[in-house]
């Protein structure tokens, strides 16, 4: 059965919901059905992601925390050495629990800089504006609430200094290799020769360790994936029944692609509002997210393809994760 969706009459939805609706319909009517993982992060998704980061299987957060806790002095030294005088811009700052160690170290070193945290959540930015200056006396902070590239433009208006850009948390892994290259090239377009980028990569390692990180025994990652179906039900008046789908995480050690799917357990039709019907065949997959894993050579290749030169790397003690420092050439 093929059902062609029709759009609602304009003006019936709020603009943000319209974009969400459009993206969901586009994904669910593609030959390989998919959803954009940026929509995982509503209030429940944020809370579930916090829980994922506490899961013992999800090693990524602990690795990067170890690097920032134990090597902020070395990182700060490298930033000062390669950039001289700079301002610090962080993409997707979140609650800054990791970067706070670096911020404190730079203040301790007497570095005169402004921290520009960028985040899509207005709530996150106003929390940071309250909490960080109290935690780190002497820190100059200018929060920027909005999309990465738009806010990078804003940051450029506020500073003529060199920029050190932080993009941590292995967020780059949520792009395919091809999309990561495009993203880094775009980032490079907002930077000048001599600017720096510190970015976190989850490294290739034993496949079972990686797969378990996306298949925790408590089922939190499963709930994180299903939450997006609940969100679509609630915000777009859909009728996904999560009992009729199974969470199916995969990892391919040859390519480093860790991909999550939901598998339809039967032939079924999902309705979105009154206008749209989406057929799912039994065993059909819905692609949810990629978390790409890298070799060190692949991080260097990515740097070169996007106009950066790798200048330093920082590892956790198991070498499972790296924060790479790249300089714009």
Residue with smaller CB distance to ligand AVI, 59 or 115: 59
Report residue 89: phi and psi, to 5°. -120, 130
Nearest CA to 86 out of 166, 30, 179 is that of 166
**Can residue 214 be called a binding residue for ligand AVI (CB under 6 A)?**
yes
* Shortest reach from residue 172's CB to ligand AVI, in Å: 8
Residue with CB nearest ligand AVI? 291
Residue list 271-310, contact with ligand AVI (CB under 6 A) = 289, 291
| 135 token code pair | 């935690």
From 80, 127, 174, 233, residue interacting with ligand AVI (rule: CB under 6 A)? 174
| 112 token code pair | 């005169």
Q: How many residues bind ligand AVI (CB under 6 A)?
A: 12
* Shortest reach from residue 108's CB to ligand AVI, in Å: 29
Per DSSP, 7 falls in state P
| 321 token code pair | 């994760």
* Shortest reach from residue 67's CB to ligand AVI, in Å: 15
Residue list 27-56, contact with ligand AVI (CB under 6 A) = 52
Residue with smaller CB distance to ligand AVI, 72 or 215: 215
From 45, 94, 173, 256, residue interacting with ligand AVI (rule: CB under 6 A)? 173
Question: Which neighbouring-strand residues pair with 265?
Answer: none
**Can residue 169 be called a binding residue for ligand AVI (CB under 6 A)?**
yes
Question: Is the separation of the CB atoms in 241 and 264 below 8 Å?
Answer: no
Residue with smaller CB distance to ligand AVI, 221 or 264: 221
Q: Which long-range contacts (CB under 8 A, 24 or more apart) does 257-260 make?
A: 257/176, 257/290, 257/292, 257/293, 258/173, 258/210, 258/211, 258/214, 258/290, 258/291, 258/292, 258/293, 259/287, 259/288, 259/289, 259/290, 259/291, 260/214, 260/221, 260/225, 260/287, 260/288, 260/289, 260/291
Candidate segments 170-178, 188-196, 204-212, 228-236, binder of ligand AVI by CB under 6 A: 170-178
**Can residue 171 be called a binding residue for ligand AVI (CB under 6 A)?**
yes
Report residue 111: phi and psi, to 5°. -75, 130
**Can residue 121 be called a binding residue for ligand AVI (CB under 6 A)?**
no
* Shortest reach from residue 61's CB to ligand AVI, in Å: 9
From 24, 25, 48, 60, residue interacting with ligand AVI (rule: CB under 6 A)? 60
Residue found by looking up tokens 């790479």 in the block: 324
Residue with smaller CB distance to ligand AVI, 17 or 250: 250
Candidate segments 73-81, 116-124, 163-171, 306-314, binder of ligand AVI by CB under 6 A: 163-171
d(CA 249, CA 246): 10
Question: Is the separation of the CB atoms in 270 and 239 below 8 Å?
Answer: yes
Under the rule (CB under 6 A), what is the footprint of ligand AVI? 52, 60, 169-171, 173-174, 214, 221, 224, 289, 291
């Amino acid at each position: 059965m093929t059902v062609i969706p029709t759009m609602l009459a304009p003006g019936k939805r709020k603009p943000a919901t319209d974009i969400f609706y459009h993206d969901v319909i586009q994904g669910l009517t593609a030959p390989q059905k998919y959803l954009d993982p940026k929509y995982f992060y509503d209030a429940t998704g944020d809370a579930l992601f916090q829980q994922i980061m506490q899961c013992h299987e999800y090693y990524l957060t602990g690795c990067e925390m170890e690097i920032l806790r134990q090597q902020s002095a070395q990182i700060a030294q490298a930033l000062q050495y390669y950039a001289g005088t700079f301002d610090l811009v962080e993409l997707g700052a979140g609650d800054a629990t990791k970067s706070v160690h670096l911020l404190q170290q730079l203040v301790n070193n007497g570095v005169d800089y402004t921290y520009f945290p960028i985040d899509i959540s207005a709530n996150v930015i106003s929390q940071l504006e309250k909490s960080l200056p109290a935690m780190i006396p002497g820190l100059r902070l200018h929060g920027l609430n909005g999309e990465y590239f738009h806010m990078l433009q804003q940051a450029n208006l506020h500073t003529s200094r060199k920029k050190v850009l932080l993009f941590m948390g292995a967020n780059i892994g949520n792009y395919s290799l091809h999309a990561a290259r495009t993203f880094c090239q775009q980032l490079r377009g907002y930077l000048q020769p001599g600017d720096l980028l510190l970015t976190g990569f989850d490294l290739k390692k034993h496949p079972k360790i990686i797969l378990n990180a996306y298949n925790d025994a408590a089922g939190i990652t499963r709930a994180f994936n299903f939450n997006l179906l609940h969100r679509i039900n609630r915000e777009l008046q859909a009728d996904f029944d999560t009992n009729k789908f199974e969470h199916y995480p995969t990892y391919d050690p040859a390519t480093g692609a860790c991909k999550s799917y939901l598998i339809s357990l039967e032939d079924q039709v999902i309705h979105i509002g009154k206008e749209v019907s989406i057929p799912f065949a039994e065993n059909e997959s819905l692609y949810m997210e990629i978390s790409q894993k890298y070799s060190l050579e692949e991080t260097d290749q990515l740097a070169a393809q996007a106009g950066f030169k790798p200048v330093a790397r920082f590892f956790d003690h198991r070498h499972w994760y790296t924060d790479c420092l790249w300089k714009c050439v």
